[in-house]
Structure 1
Amino acid sequence: MDFDTAFFCILAAGFITGFSKFSIGGMGLLILPIIAIAYPGPEALGILIPMYIATDILAVKSYGRDASWPIVLRLLPLALIGIGLGIWLLSSINPEQFTLLLGVMIVLILALGLWLDYRPSAVMRHPAATQAMGLLSGFVTMTANAAGPLLSLYLMEQRLSKEAYVGTRAWAFMILNSAKVPLLIAAGFLNEEIALRSLAGLPGLLVGSLAGYWLLKKLNINQFKWMIRGMAAIAAVKMLAFG
């Protein structure tokens, strides 16, 4: 993979990260597949995590005061267990298996999103849903950096105000992404060299954040959701069929 391709993959991932964090979210399904074009193994997670934490800090500063801490604390224990299970799995697979895993995870998340579109909203307010979403969010954020759609689906059904929804989501991801750092370092997926590569994404991250903030009120949310699903499905087919 030549330098220019790697640079533009990281830059594009930075733009989408910023745009997603400051608009409707749910674009994590696209971010890791873009990085995986240049870095097909689990080290792609290490490249992304500095950008994620940078946007988490900005989001917490902007929206974090309105978080619903009871919901965060209910999700957190099993989410941390899910992160532990995820790093255990990642440490035992090779880049080809990681690409296959990522493709499968994207398909499953898309299927879950479609299923929940047609389920009564009360299903996400059942006590068991909190435990299931906590565990799944931790596992998916560790293995595919794509827990945004899962957590958003759950939080949208908790009867939160708009401000509490955004603040709760911001704090939840700040905590989960910070928890991933020592595990990624211990597994060898994050070090100084890998972290420096992520710097290429900072210009894209800043532009994407501004674009997401500006465009949020102009977006047709339903059309945008289906566009993201379509692009994610194409990425999944590419990974499953061609590796």
Structure 2
Amino acid sequence: MKPLHFKRDTAGAFGGGVAMIGIPLMSLAMDPLVAGAVLAPLLLVMDAFALRHWSPKTWSRADVIWLIPGTLIGTALAAWLLTGMDERGVATLMGALGVGFALYWLTGGMSDRGWAARPVFAFTAATASGATSMIAHAGGPPLAIYLLGRGLPKAQFAGTTSIVFTFGNIAKVVPWLLITPPDAGMLWLMLICTPAVPLAIWLGWRLHGRLDQRRLYAICYGILTLVSLNLLWRGLAGYL
């Protein structure tokens, strides 16, 4: 396994929205399945620290009761899908999802409002979020489409996203480790990265109120586009 220079991720403190760049970035140095398996347990550590900042008073309970079940169902469906795919298929699917989300954001889709008032839309968005989170740790965009449409305050948006992703991350860690059982190198990488989590979460929480959200996401989606195109090319090239 090639060495990886792991980037500290403040996604937990920003409500999980930028975690989608994790696998594409890590896949520059390793198999995307290995990247997913390494990142899955680390996300649980991030959640544990993030929820210290996003307490229950920041959760939108009216949304959470629909979002969590949908997330769990989407996770289960995607886990079943991944068990039948090889490295080329996974790379192609992850790359396509990343490019698709970047294009959707670029065309203004993330600012849609008004359609997200009914529980069926919450459940549908959460199912899509659970599926894309399981496949590529990229559950942020589908969930954001719904929650942005609800017009929640920034803190409530981040808190609701954090608790929903906590349940989703718990549900997907075992499937990921079954799909790609960790070897000694993967375990060492997880161990090395873990101490960076508390500092990264604290830093993200401090920056939450200071950074312009749209500028932050513009940078993240720019990175996502580049690394996803690379991942998509590698996946498609494997079939040639």
8 A contact 2:15–2:162 mirrored in 1: no
Superposition pairs for residues 30-45 of structure 1, below 5 Å?
30-45=21-36
Aligned to 1:221: 213
1:201 to 172, 179, 193: 193
8 A contact 2:27–2:231 mirrored in 1: no
For 2:93 and 2:51, locate their aligned partners in 1 and report how far apart those are by CA, in whole Å.
31
Per-residue CA distance 1:163-188 (angstroms, 9 max, x = gap): 43232222111111101123234x34
Change (3 A) 1:126 1:70: closer
For 2:173 and 2:216, locate their aligned partners in 1 and report how far apart those are by CA, in whole Å.
31
8 A contact 2:71–2:164 mirrored in 1: no
For 1:29 and 1:163, locate their aligned partners in 2 and report how far apart those are by CA, in whole Å.
20
Aligned to 1:78: 70
For 2:163 and 2:109, locate their aligned partners in 1 and report how far apart those are by CA, in whole Å.
25
Q: TM-score, normalised by structure 2?
A: 0.85
1:50 to 41, 47, 52: 41
1:151 to 143, 147, 150: 143
8 A contact 1:50–1:195 mirrored in 2: no
Are residues 1:141 and 2:133 paired?
A: yes
Change (3 A) 1:81 1:195: farther
8 A contact 2:79–2:135 mirrored in 1: yes
1:235 to 208, 224, 227: 227
8 A contact 1:133–1:151 mirrored in 2: yes
> Offset at 1:102?
0.7
Task: Name the SS for the 2:152 alignment partner.
Answer: coil
For 2:215 and 2:129, locate their aligned partners in 1 and report how far apart those are by CA, in whole Å.
25
1:60 to 42, 45, 51: 51
1:22 to 13, 20, 24: 13
> Offset at 1:52?
0.6
Q: Which moved more, 1:174-183 or 1:107-116?
A: 107-116
The number of aligned residues is: 233
Q: Which residues of structure 2 form unaligned runs of 5+?
A: 236-240
Aligned to 2:238: none
> Offset at 1:124?
2.6
Are residues 1:183 and 2:180 paired?
A: no
For 2:20 and 2:134, locate their aligned partners in 1 and report how far apart those are by CA, in whole Å.
13
Change (3 A) 1:163 1:218: closer
For 1:120 and 1:150, locate their aligned partners in 2 and report how far apart those are by CA, in whole Å.
12
For 1:176 and 1:81, locate their aligned partners in 2 and report how far apart those are by CA, in whole Å.
9
8 A contact 2:88–2:234 mirrored in 1: no
1:125 to 117, 127, 142: 117
**RMSD across aligned C-alpha pairs, in angstroms?**
2.3
Task: Name the SS for the 1:121 alignment partner.
Answer: coil
Q: TM-score, normalised by structure 1?
A: 0.84
Per-residue CA distance 1:93-151 (angstroms, 9 max, x = gap): 11122111110111222233345547641023344321220110110010010112322
For 1:120 and 1:184, locate their aligned partners in 2 and report how far apart those are by CA, in whole Å.
32
8 A contact 2:50–2:201 mirrored in 1: no
2:162 to 170, 176, 179: 170
Which amino acid is 2:94 matched to? L
Per-residue CA distance 1:53-86 (angstroms, 9 max, x = gap): 1111112222122122331121222322211111
Q: Which moved more, 1:25-34 or 1:90-99?
A: 25-34
Which amino acid is 1:222 matched to? R
For 1:203 and 1:175, locate their aligned partners in 2 and report how far apart those are by CA, in whole Å.
22
